[in-house]
Amino acid sequence: MTVVRSNKQTAAATATAKAGAARWVGFDMDECLGSFMPIWPFCEVLPNEANLGPEDKRAWLRRLAETLASRRELWLFRPGLDLLLDMLRSAKERKAIAGCFILTNNGSWEIAEVVRHILNIRSGDAGLFVAAWHRYTPCRRKTGSILTKDLTTVQACLRTSGLPTLHRASDLLFYDDYADHVLADEIPHYTTVSAYTHYTPIALVYKELKPAIDRFGFPRAVVQEVLTQAEKYEDRDLKTDKTLRVYSPPASMDAAEFTEALGRFLSTPVLTAARKQPNGTATRLTRRTGTTTQGRTAKTARRRRLSKN
Ligand SMILES: [Mg+2]
């Protein structure tokens, strides 16, 4: 399963779109929302090694999300996100956006789902993040490269998930720590954020999860084997990837780069009936629609700056 969404959530998103706000806020996952590889052994390896069936696995992932949602001191998520989640929930409540989604090139649907659940729990709206599309999600396979992030992919994912698609390019705000996706040249509200490279050791994550793991009834030998293997990989990764900052206090609790972009996005007028074409059709969504020359120039300059760093 790649997209988990209840009928109730789809109905809510569709109703919002009918009310005139088919606008979406999308997020890259790794180093954008947070740093999640330390939860990989518990999301993917442990349930697979314990041979959990689909129902049990889903129950475990939900338990995992519920446990981690309150463990802010692990700094898996970027600090300051709670303010952004409040703003997003409020925007959805007043129908300024249809909702949010994750579009990640991470290959683990389990991690993406756990992250999505946690964001919904922390926002107080179980339907705020409607989907988490990962590298192998079927709707991405139909659109060429599975690693491409572009408007075609977003529209295909929304459509195949039964969600309202975008009317124009400026109806999407997308956050990513990587500046050079195709999407960056297609939408005016592509927002490149600083990469969050904080890393939490697996042993610390396990310490917080141990009571939940024990209660769920995972065999101790399996847990021990998963931990041993995961920490071996962790040692190797930490030696080879010098960008990771291991469990130090986050440099900033500020998420202003997110909240300011959301403020600009929400101040963009929505497409209304009065702005439709004379023949009654909405403005066609094209590759360049909504992207001003000024916006492109600014983004190009920003990417050049980033590439120098
Ligand atoms: Mg990223």
**Per-residue pLDDT of the chain in tens (309 residues, 90 and over written 9):** 333 444 444 444 444 444 445 899 999 999 999 999 999 999 999 999 999 999 999 999 999 999 999 999 899 999 999 999 999 999 999 999 999 999 999 999 999 999 999 999 999 999 999 999 999 998 887 666 778 999 999 999 999 999 999 999 999 999 999 999 999 999 999 999 999 988 899 999 999 999 999 999 999 999 999 999 999 999 888 888 777 767 666 777 789 999 999 999 999 876 554 444 444 334 445 333 333 333 344 444 444 333 333
3-state secondary structure of 33: coil
C-beta of residue 168 within 8 angstroms of C-beta of residue 128: no
With respect to residue 231, please indicate whether it lies within any of the assigned structural domains: no
Tell me which residue has tokens 């349930």: 47
Q: Which helix (H) or strand (E) holds 191?
A: strand 189-192
* Whole-number pLDDT of residue 290: 33
Q: How far is the CA of 210 from the centre of ligand 1 (A)?
A: 28
* Whole-number pLDDT of residue 145: 75
C-beta of residue 233 within 8 angstroms of C-beta of residue 226: no
Q: How far is the CA of 285 from the centre of ligand 1 (A)?
A: 26
Tell me which residue has tokens 């690693």: 147
- The reported pTM is 0.81
With respect to residue 83, please indicate whether it lies within any of the assigned structural domains: yes
Q: How far is the CA of 67 from the centre of ligand 1 (A)?
A: 24
With respect to residue 187, please indicate whether it lies within any of the assigned structural domains: yes
Q: How far is the CA of 284 from the centre of ligand 1 (A)?
A: 30
With respect to residue 69, please indicate whether it lies within any of the assigned structural domains: no
Q: How far is the CA of 142 from the centre of ligand 1 (A)?
A: 22
Q: How far apart are CA 35 and CA 77, in angstroms?
A: 6
* Whole-number pLDDT of residue 274: 41
Q: How far is the CA of 169 from the centre of ligand 1 (A)?
A: 21
Host domain of residue 160? 15-36+76-200+247-308
Q: How far is the CA of 10 from the centre of ligand 1 (A)?
A: 27
Q: How far is the CA of 175 from the centre of ligand 1 (A)?
A: 9
Which CATH number fits the domain that encloses residue 176? 3.40.50
With respect to residue 262, please indicate whether it lies within any of the assigned structural domains: yes
With respect to residue 174, please indicate whether it lies within any of the assigned structural domains: yes
Q: How far apart are CA 7 and CA 82, in angstroms?
A: 26
Q: How far is the CA of 27 from the centre of ligand 1 (A)?
A: 9
Q: How far is the CA of 149 from the centre of ligand 1 (A)?
A: 12
Q: How far apart are CA 105 and CA 164, in angstroms?
A: 22
- How many domains are there within the chain? 1
Q: CB-hemisphere CA count at 13 Å for 297?
A: 3
With respect to residue 228, please indicate whether it lies within any of the assigned structural domains: no
Q: How far is the CA of 222 from the centre of ligand 1 (A)?
A: 31
Q: How far is the CA of 162 from the centre of ligand 1 (A)?
A: 26
Nearest to 37 by CA among 213, 197, 258, 222: 197
Q: What number of helices (H) and strands (E) belong to the chain?
A: 13, 7
* Whole-number pLDDT of residue 143: 61
CA angle 68, 140, 16 (to 5 degrees): 65
* Whole-number pLDDT of residue 247: 67
Q: How far is the CA of 125 from the centre of ligand 1 (A)?
A: 24
Q: How far is the CA of 51 from the centre of ligand 1 (A)?
A: 30
Q: How far is the CA of 194 from the centre of ligand 1 (A)?
A: 10
* Whole-number pLDDT of residue 19: 45
71-76: long-range contacts at Cβ-Cβ below 8 A with a sequence spacing of 24 or more? 71/208, 74/200, 74/204, 74/205, 74/208, 75/34, 75/35, 75/198, 75/200, 75/247, 75/250, 76/34, 76/35, 76/36, 76/38, 76/39, 76/200, 76/205
Q: How far is the CA of 31 from the centre of ligand 1 (A)?
A: 5
With respect to residue 179, please indicate whether it lies within any of the assigned structural domains: yes
Q: How far is the CA of 176 from the centre of ligand 1 (A)?
A: 6
- Write b or e for each residue in 59-94: b if 16 or more Cβ atoms lie within 10 A of its Cβ, otherwise e: ebbebbbebbbebeebbbbbbbbebbbebbbebbee
